[in-house]
């Protein structure tokens, strides 16, 4: 794509990147996606993935996959594996790596020594609370540490002792010497290295000093030749420190940091800390619970990666924070599945129908279109017999004025089959609820149309009792009932976010479908065959999203 084209200038980040290409500042664009492996990625990360990898693809450049593994107490190989799987699932491959910040620990430590030698950093032996108290406020300048003027030679000795493990955790930190009166608190002698005795998932116990993100990030970018370090908006105030490190450490390149607004979504939380609490407290069944906004959860639920990329494209890239309605994501998913998902019939809450004028041992296999939106999808054969299952909500003993489905004396269409008319109903004497609906059918309406042109106001889905397979159906809904769960999210958990229905009748073809397949249950919603819990002949169906109109519409 031409970086000067209108399409490439569709957001401010691409405009900046395009301008750097057109001016000759960079001959090739190199971006990176640098998650910390301390949890599973969520839908908010998808926006960053699509932006960083997208720009690289559009310009013929490269996007590096790099892990910010500088906090060993919270990181693990499990998270690394899940992140790599998520990026590939979204449809992207990295041009370099995967790399790790831990690949550069030796270089980062050397950079720390260089700053000390230049008089731009010092080892501070104050406690964390003392450093915090002396940093000042947004309206008051900070005060310098008594260690701020210690000789570079003394700081270097302390720095070597920190690395050798001769000092306990918290005994001291390496701080940049910048400006304790700066209006930007991030420049008030920020910490660069700290002592932390913890086994690292890659380097083991080789290191006991670890860099802060604001120190490791610009050095890692420069070592990899990153041209544009695209971050979310909370790092805007950190950019002066990023630039300070790049300017004062001897590095092979000078990357540029650009910030954009992160994705915020209604009816969910996009904080790895809170998502971890959801998992640890047992509110969900793991990081890949289909109710979770994690990419693993969305994948298991059956969200198509194409729909998620489309969603990120529609949300766009902006400089100001905003909250996107979950309904937009659901619309993108529904729009994708409407074109791609084959149709089947399944009944969630069955009520038996007997067609009294149909032969007791009769059987027909009726043609049904696999996807009315895609003629090339062809047809399948659906078995029809005397006894059928219909949805319990599709029958009323006393229908209201706007209820057009089945009732005594009323005629309706069975999808792909015949017109039927209810003649009587049998009820449970204890509850008064219907237990059996008796009907007749019109043989001349085979295929669902009447030769005399008469119209019916409802079409019902159904499954032959004799031929039915069974499925477990999981009706997933939004995890939170409130648009903005906030800090008291535990009080806003949706008690109805999951309903599990056992032994739901489904047409026989659906009972044999492969794991991971996405389908539409006609008049019910879009579902995915759970890859973990399904077995041959008995699929577990995860509801991805409902139809635009509910199955219980009039």
Active site positions, annotated:
36, 262, 272
Contact between residue 63 and residue 31 where contact means Cβ atoms under 8 Å apart: yes
Give the strand pairing for 30-33 and 62-67: parallel
Q: What angle do CA 243, 247, 248 make, to 5 degrees?
A: 120
Residues 6+ apart with CB under 8 A from 340: 304, 371, 374, 518
Angstrom distances, CA of residue 506 to CA of 165, 343, 363, 515, 544: 64, 12, 17, 16, 17
Pairing of strands 463-464, 350-355: unpaired
DSSP H or E run through 123: strand 121-124
CA–CA gap between residue 480 and residue 483 (Å, rounded): 7
| Six-digit token string for 118 | 């230049």
Find the largest Cα–Cα distance for the chain. 101
**Integer Cα distance of 235 and 168 in angstroms:** 31
What lies within 8 Å, CB to CB, of 377 at 6+ separation is 342, 369, 370, 371
DSSP 191-213: EEEEE----BTTTBTS-SEEE-H
Measured in whole angstroms, the distance separating CA 347 from the mean position of its chain's CA atoms is 29
What sign for the dihedral angle of Cα 494, 500, 505, 510?
positive
Pair of tokens at residue 544: 């991805």
**Can you tell me the distance from the alpha carbon of 447 to that of 413, in angstroms, rounded to the nearest whole number?**
9
Which residue in 261, 260, 259, 284 sits closest to 274, CA to CA?
284
Cα dihedral sign, 203-205-209-213? positive
| C-beta separation of 215 from 121 below 8 A | no
Which residues, at least 6 apart from 21, have a Cβ–Cβ distance to it below 8 Å? 3, 29, 59
Residues in the chain: 554
Return the residue matching tokens 């492969």. Answer: 514
Cβ–Cβ under 8 Å, residues 514 and 529: yes
């Amino acid at each position: 794509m031409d970086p000067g084209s209108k399409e490439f200038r569709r957001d401010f980040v691409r405009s900046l990147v395009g301008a750097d290409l057109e001016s000759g500042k960079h001959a090739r664009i190199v971006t990176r996606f640098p998650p910390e492996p301390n949890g599973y990625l969520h839908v908010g990360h998808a926006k960053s993935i699509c932006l960083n990898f997208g720009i690289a693809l559009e310009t013929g450049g490269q996007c590096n996959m790099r892990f910010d593994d500088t906090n060993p107490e919270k990181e693990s190989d499990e998270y690394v594996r899940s992140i790599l799987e998520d990026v590939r699932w979204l449809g992207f491959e990295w041009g370099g790596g995967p790399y790790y910040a831990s690949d550069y620990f030796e270089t980062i430590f050397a950079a720390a020594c260089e700053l000390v030698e230049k008089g731009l950093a010092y080892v501070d032996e104050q406690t964390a609370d003392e450093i915090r108290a002396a940093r000042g406020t947004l309206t008051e300048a900070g005060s310098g540490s008594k260690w701020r003027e210690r000789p570079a030679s003394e700081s270097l000795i302390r720095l070597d002792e920190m690395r050798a493990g001769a000092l306990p955790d918290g005994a001291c930190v390496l701080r940049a010497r910048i400006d304790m009166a700066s209006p930007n608190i991030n420049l008030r002698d920020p910490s660069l290295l700290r002592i932390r005795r913890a086994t690292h998932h890659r380097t083991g116990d080789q290191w006991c000093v670890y860099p802060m993100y604001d120190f490791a990030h610009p050095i890692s970018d420069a070592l990899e030749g990153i041209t544009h370090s695209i971050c979310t908006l909370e790092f805007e105030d950190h950019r002066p420190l990023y630039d300070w490190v790049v300017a004062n450490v001897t590095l092979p390149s000078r990357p540029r940091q650009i910030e954009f607004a992160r994705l915020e979504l209604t009816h969910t939380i996009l904080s790895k800390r809170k998502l971890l609490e959801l998992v640890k407290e047992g509110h969900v069944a793991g990081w890949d619970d289909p109710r979770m906004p994690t990419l693993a959860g969305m994948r298991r639920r059956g969200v198509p990666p194409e729909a998620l990329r489309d969603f990120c494209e529609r949300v766009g890239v902006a400089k100001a924070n905003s909250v996107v309605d979950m309904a937009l994501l659901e619309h993108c998913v529904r729009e994708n599945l409407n074109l791609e998902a084959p149709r089947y019939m399944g009944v969630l809450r069955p009520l038996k129908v007997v067609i009294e004028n149909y032969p007791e041992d009769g059987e027909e296999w009726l043609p049904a279109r696999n996807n009315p939106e895609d003629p090339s999808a062809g047809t399948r054969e659906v078995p029809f017999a005397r006894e059928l299952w219909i949805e319990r909500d599709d029958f009323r003993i006393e229908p209201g004025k706007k209820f057009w489905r089945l009732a005594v004396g009323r005629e309706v269409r069975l999808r792909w089959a015949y017109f039927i008319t209810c003649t009587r109903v049998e009820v449970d004497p204890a509850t008064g609820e219907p237990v059996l609906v008796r009907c007749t059918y019109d043989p001349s309406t085979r295929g669902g149309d009447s030769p005399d042109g008469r119209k019916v106001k409802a079409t019902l889905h159904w499954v032959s009792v004799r031929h039915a397979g069974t499925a477990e159906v999981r009706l997933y809904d939004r995890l939170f009932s409130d648009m903005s769960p906030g800090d008291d999210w535990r009080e806003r958990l949706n008690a109805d976010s999951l309903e599990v229905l056992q032994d739901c009748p489904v047409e026989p073809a659906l009972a044999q479908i492969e794991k991971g397949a996405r389908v539409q249950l006609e008049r019910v919603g879009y579902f995915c065959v759970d890859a973990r819990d399904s077995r041959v002949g008995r699929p577990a169906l995860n509801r991805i999203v409902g139809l635009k109109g509910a199955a219980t519409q009039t």
